Structure 1
Amino acid sequence: MTEPATSADAPWPVRTVALKVSKWIDRLGPVWVEGQLTQLSARTGTAFLTLRDPAADVSLSLTAPTPLVREKALTEGQRVVVHGKFSFFFGRGTLSLRVDEVRAVGVGELLARIERLRALLAAEGLFDVARKRRLPRLPSCVGLITGRASAAEHDVVTVATTRWPAVHFRVENTATQGVQAVPQILDALEALDRDPAVEVIVIARGGGSVEDLLPFSDEALCRGIARCRTPVVTAIGHEPDTPLVDHVADVRAATPTDAAKRIVPDLAEETAHLAALRTRARRALHAWVDREDALIARLRARPVLADPLRVVDARAGEIAALTDRARRTVDRALREREADIRHRRASLTALGPAATLTRGYAIVQRGGDVGSPVLRAAADAQPGDLLRVRLADGAVTARVEADG
């Protein structure tokens, strides 16, 4: 039978609510829970512990028999799997997991879990080389996530500023081990990724045991790095230490010092490199000028350029010779034509009527004009006709008086 709902006029007493909650929690039954111990207070008879989720800011209160805690030699920061049943303390209204068995999570099991997570993330493509981004050549601001006053922070900042004094750091100090590490690192990572001035993010930590480096193989942290728009460099532990974040990051540095060398170039090396490039450029330019100068010298040494008028002079001589030859040829042809003309004139003169006239002959024309017809017979002339008589030295006009 369903109990009536509460209202402002018919509220439940605290004891009723507490009783109902206690009944519902009892229905849950025993459970196995994994987490990390953060607080441990072993009193006479009962020990009070806090079990925290390694990847989130969530915790549970535990109670366990003190002999069980001492038998297992439990310590704060230890990863454990506990078995127990939830109970609701009726008087104080608090929830607690009453533990009856505790199992420490060994290194082998932790490594096996990391390997399973590695395979999962690799299958999703988070380790692909194609998604990794190039680091900026000269970052002006570097975000650094590391422990407060840690050797890793000192190494990264000191080495980087020594190599490139113009670089600036925005340092976010977080826990680098323990239950607080993952949430704090995620918050710092998001804050640096939102900052437009930060061009590259470095996550640095010194070496440690497998348990100390567990936060850097956490799934939430790996996915947080994969979501970053800013390139991420990881420098976790020393060379043998390879947590999962090293595979997700854009660049994995062996040590914090190596990370500093990767994010900024060395000023001395760059200066020397620029000097070498200037020298190479100067030599290349001088060599090019020398080659062009030699080419010009060879071109100028050619006869056509060494004495360009020589060809003109040679052609001028040829032209003068040809002109003289042509003139002589024309003159000879003219003399030949003149002689021919003289011969023909003499022939014409000898055969023409003018020579006959000089010998006392005359040409009689019927009419007084130069173009009148020549009179060839006396019978052709009639009395009264006007005649034109052409002599050697001129012409006279006569008239016919009578027939001869």
Structure 2
Amino acid sequence: MALQTSPEQPAPVRQIANAIAGWVDRLGAVWVSGQIAQVNRRPGVGTVFMTLRDPVADISVTVTCARTLVDSMNPPLVEGASVVVHAKPLYYANRGSLSLSAREIRMVGLGELLAQLERRRQLLAAEGLFAPELKRTLPFLPTGVGLVTAPASAAERDVLENARRRWPSVAFVTAYAAVQGPRAASEVIEAFQRLDRDPAVDVIVIARGGGSIEDLLPFSDEALIRAVHGRRTPVVSAIGHEQDSPLLDLVADLRASTPTDAAKLVVPDVAEEIRGVAWARDRIRTVLRQLVDRELSELTALRSRPVLADPRSLVEGRAGEIEAMLDRARRAFAHALDRAHDDIAHHRARARALSPLATLQRGYAIVQDSQGGVVTSVDDVESRDLLAVRVADGRIHVSVGDTETLPLTTESDSAADQPPDSGAHHD
């Protein structure tokens, strides 16, 4: 029932706010259709805040739902998706704000179509069809370029004109196919496989102009994706405009934002390549000239050194050193010979001093019997024995006449050291 208020009896704010909350609560749960304009996931908060916008009027409302509900959606809920939300309106009296507490969210229309494409993308990605290591490098200058497109289409004209403007001698092999409608996927597959089997084709471009998501559905067909995955020839996907992203872009070796961009990717620009060659040639000349100049400067510096300006100076200097070394060697050798001569003379003197011949030269003699034995005592001989006396320069053969025994005294020893006089008792 309506509140009874007057200027004399106004209602407080809390009463009005609570009344509004009661009126909103009586509305109950409702189904609301709209487009997700914003999704806000706050860290550590179990509630997700979204903005649901009316696609026709400039009206929006805040929607809250449990994080588990949003995380369980497949594909994930993204901004721009069309949805139908089952929610209960709530009015928060403390903040004076109205929001919808979502209990269920469903994709509808284009959103449902995008959800199907996202599920297909996830399944094919799980099989590894979009793996980066499967991508092939396009040839620098292909001898033949295959083109799959609609006959007399703007995409065909853009690819051919831009490619031939960049490289006039490029050769195209075109395979026409429907690019829209129920037969588009099968015809594109047939045309692509025919070009893939052609050995004259080095790269294949699949091109189509822009269109709605429904128009581009054939280029997200699973059969086409698998056919391109089993390719022999590198593939360039040029479907739609920059914002369009069919599944063919993910499996192709290279994605072109437009058919015009595909022409720039498959062939080089001849004018740019000529400029590059000219720049490289000039650069090589400059580097080679700098290298030759540097080597000439080093050669001039080497030739200006005294040793190369007059090579004889080095020989003459070394000749003086050799002469000095020879003189030093001669002196050292002469000193070594003198020392060796002195050592030999010294050793010779010592050897002579120790030799028995030196003793004989001092007047001593060695007496030997007829058997060659040395006579050391008078008892070793008898009268009339024949003896040989060894002196310094020979032997004297004598006969024993008489013997005399002398006492072994110091004086006799001293006398024995003296050479025998001429009056010895022997014949």
SS state of the match for residue 275, structure 1?
A: helix
Three-state SS of the structure 2 residue aligned to 1:233 is: strand
Cα distance in 2, alignment partners of residues 322 and 227 from structure 1? 86
* DSSP 3-state at the match of 1:203: strand
Measured in 2, the distance between the counterparts of 1:210 and 1:323 equals 102
How is 1:302-321 mapped onto 2 (pairs within 5 angstroms)?
302-314=305-317
Question: Residues 177 and 318 (structure 1 numbering): CA distance in 2 closer, same or farther, change over 3 Å?
Answer: closer
> Could you tell me how far 1:319 is from its partner in structure 2?
8.1
Tell me the alpha carbon deviations over residues 248-286 of structure 1, each in whole angstroms, 9 at most, x when there is no partner: 100000000000000011011100011111111111111
Q: Say whether residues 1:240 and 2:243 are aligned partners.
A: yes
Structure 1 runs not aligned, ≥5 long? 1-104, 325-404
Q: Does 1:183 align with 2:186?
A: yes
Report if the CA contact (8 A) 1:140-1:166 is conserved. Answer: no
Write out per-residue CA displacement over residues 331-373 of structure 1, whole angstroms, 9 at most, x where no aligned residue.
Answer: xxxxxxxxxxxxxxxxxxxxxxxxxxxxxxxxxxxxxxxxxxx
Cα pair distance change 1:319/1:109, threshold 3 Å: closer
* CA deviation map 1:91-131 (0-9, x unaligned): xxxxxxxxxxxxxx932222111110000011111111111
The residue type paired with residue 132 of structure 2 is: V
Q: Partners of 2:152 and 2:189 in 1: how far apart?
A: 19
Cα offset, 1:180, TM superposition? 1.1
1:141–1:199: 8 Å Cα contact kept in structure 2? Answer: yes
Q: Secondary structure at the match of 2:211?
A: coil
Separation in 1, partners of 2:273, 2:291: 26
SS at match of 1:166: coil
* Aligned: 1:126 with 2:117: no
Displacement after TM superposition at 1:166 (Å): 1.7
* Matched letter for residue 170 of structure 1: V
Distance 1:320 1:235 in 2: 89
Whole-angstrom CA distance in 2 between matches of 1:319 and 1:214: 97
Does the residue aligned with 1:165 lie in a helix, a strand or coil? coil
Q: Does 1:275 align with 2:278?
A: yes
Corresponding residue number in structure 2 for 1:160 = 163
- Give the gaps of 5 or more residues in structure 2: 1-107, 328-427
Partner of 1:265: 268
Match of 1:256 among 240, 256, 259: 259
The residue number in structure 2 matching 1:383 is: none
Letter in 2 for 1:222: I
Asked if 2 retains the 8 angstrom alpha-carbon contact of 1:200 and 1:233, the reply is: yes
Which of 168, 171, 174 aligns to 2:174? It is: 171
- Counterpart Cα distance in 1 of 2:151 and 2:172: 14
| Partner of residue 204, structure 1 | 207
Q: TM-score, normalised on structure 1? A: 0.52
Residue 293 (structure 1) shift: 0.8
Shift of 1:173: 1.1
Task: State the match for 1:226 in structure 2.
Answer: 229
Query: What is the percent sequence identity of the aligned residues?
Result: 60
Partner SS, residue 211 of structure 1: coil
- The 3-state SS of whatever aligns with 2:174 is strand
Alignment of 1:2-401 (within 5 A): 106-314=109-317
Distance 1:226 1:318, change over 3 A: closer
Identify the structure with bigger relative contact order (alpha carbons < 8 Å, sequence gap 6+). Answer: 1
Distance 1:199 1:318 in 2: 76
3-state DSSP class of the match of 2:145? strand
Tell me which amino acid in the other structure corresponds to 1:138.
Answer: L
Q: Residue by residue, what CA displacement relative to the aligned partner does 1:269-321 show, whole Å, maximum 9, x if unpaired?
A: 10001111111111111111111111111111111101101233456678899
Letter in 1 for 2:254: V
Measured at CA, do residues 309 and 189 of structure 1 come closer, stay the same or move farther in structure 2, by a change above 3 Å?
A: same
CA distance in 2, matches of 1:240, 1:320: 93
Aligned residue number for residue 54 of structure 1? none
Q: CA deviation at 1:225?
A: 0.6
Q: May I ask how many residue pairs the two structures share in their alignment?
A: 222
State TM-score, norm by structure 2. Answer: 0.50
The amino acid across from 2:206 in the alignment is: I
Q: Distance in 2 between matches of 1:157 and 1:184?
A: 21
Letter in 2 for 1:122: A
SS at match of 1:143: strand
Query: In structure 2, what is the Cα distance between the partners aligned to 1:203 and 1:264?
Result: 15
Structure 1 pair 315–120 and aligned structure 2 pair: CA distance change class (3 A): closer
Distance 1:321 1:231 in 2: 82
Do the aligned residues in 2 keep the contact of 1:239 with 1:254 (CA within 8 Å)? yes
Amino acid at match of 2:241: H
CA distance in 2, matches of 1:321, 1:124: 89
For 2:129, the aligned partner's letter is L
| Distance in 2 separating the partners of 1:229 and 1:244 | 19
